[in-house]
Amino acid sequence: MVGIAELLNEKEIIFPEITALAVGYMVAQKRSWKVNGKRMLLLITICATVGVLIVRYSGLALFPQMIIAFSFAQILFMFSGTTFAPFVSAIVLPVMMQTKSFIYPISAVVLTILVIGFHQLFLKMKIREDEEYIPVMLNSKDDIIDTALRIVCVAIVGFVAIYFNYKFIIAPPLLVAFTEFSRPRNKVRNKPIKTVLVITGCALVGSLSRYLLTIKLELPLTVSALIATLIMLLILTYTKMYMPPVGAITILSMIIPQSSVITYPLQIFVGSVVIILLSRVFFMWRQDKKLYEKEYELTAH
């Protein structure tokens, strides 16, 4: 992906979330989401296209564009029949980067097809076991409350981040992570320190690779992306923390403005701390209480 983008001198080809898809759909021992290939492709296509349309035709400032994009993704998430959160990044990324080219959604679609194809190949080669896809509906009263609360949280944090020009505190992959962390029974938020360290570490790996290899040594960006991805995969393997968003966080460092490369890991650190805190304070306690009450009722009957 990065190699072709450099060869054609077309940065819009780089779709960082594809790394998250690869981690969650190919690298992880078990599929990270309740989704199938068709729905994955459809959701990525819709969101990548809508993101570009918002930038091209809304005529709004960055903050309202971000809220519209995130809100659209959250509502779609409720009715998608999946737990597939990475499409949140597919719509928010072009807004954050102010992408107007339709090369971006085309690239997103092609790369998603490749990930789906490799997943099918892994199934045939018995590298991965097939998992039945059962549609899920996330439009109950509790889900609606969660959705509204996510939008309010992102609006407040996003306003502050954009106002002070530290927008990567709400980097698209972090919004994906927030969507996943704020869902019931999410296990990652039970390891807050380890989660923040892994997320920040991968952001640091991406930034250092680009800064040292491409900016200082003037090596191709493809080299930086390759080395950063290899180290990221080693981190995930060593820590056993197969969080798909960290793949996108690593590759996002390759396309952010050069002026943001140094501060990018710090912004990601702050953003990851914020989403973990929000997930635990505003979601985990209430969701765990609901689950406990339901389990108590079943036991009583």
Task: Using DSSP, state whether 185 is helix, strand or coil.
Answer: coil
- At residue 32, the pLDDT reads 76
The whole-number pLDDT of residue 286 equals: 75
What is the rounded average pLDDT of the residues 100-108?
Answer: 95
In the predicted structure, residue 298 carries a pLDDT above the cut 60: no
Taking the C-alpha atoms of residue 193 and residue 191, their distance in angstroms, rounded to an integer, is 6
Q: State the pTM of this model.
A: 0.91
Q: Of 292, 282, 252, which is closest to residue 86 (Cα–Cα)?
A: 252
Going from the C-alpha of 89 to that of each of 11, 47, 92, the distances in angstroms are 17, 8, 5
Q: How far apart are the first and last CA of the chain?
A: 55
**Helix, strand, or coil here: 6?**
helix
Res. 294 pLDDT band, cuts 50 70 90? low
Q: Write out pLDDT tens, residues 123-162.
A: 888 888 888 888 888 878 889 999 999 999 999 999 999 9
How does residue 232 score in pLDDT terms, banded at 50, 70 and 90? Answer: very high
Question: pLDDT exceeding 90 applies to what percent of the chain?
Answer: 71
For residue 242, what pLDDT band results from cuts at 50, 70 and 90?
Answer: confident
Residue 114 CB partners (closer than 8 Å, separation 6+): none
Q: 12 Cβ partners below 8 Å, 6+ apart? A: 5, 99, 101, 103, 104, 107
Q: Tokens 């290939």 sit at which residue?
A: 37
Smallest CA-to-CA distance from 79 within 120, 43, 32 is with 43
**What is the rounded CA–CA span in Å between residue 37 and residue 127?**
17
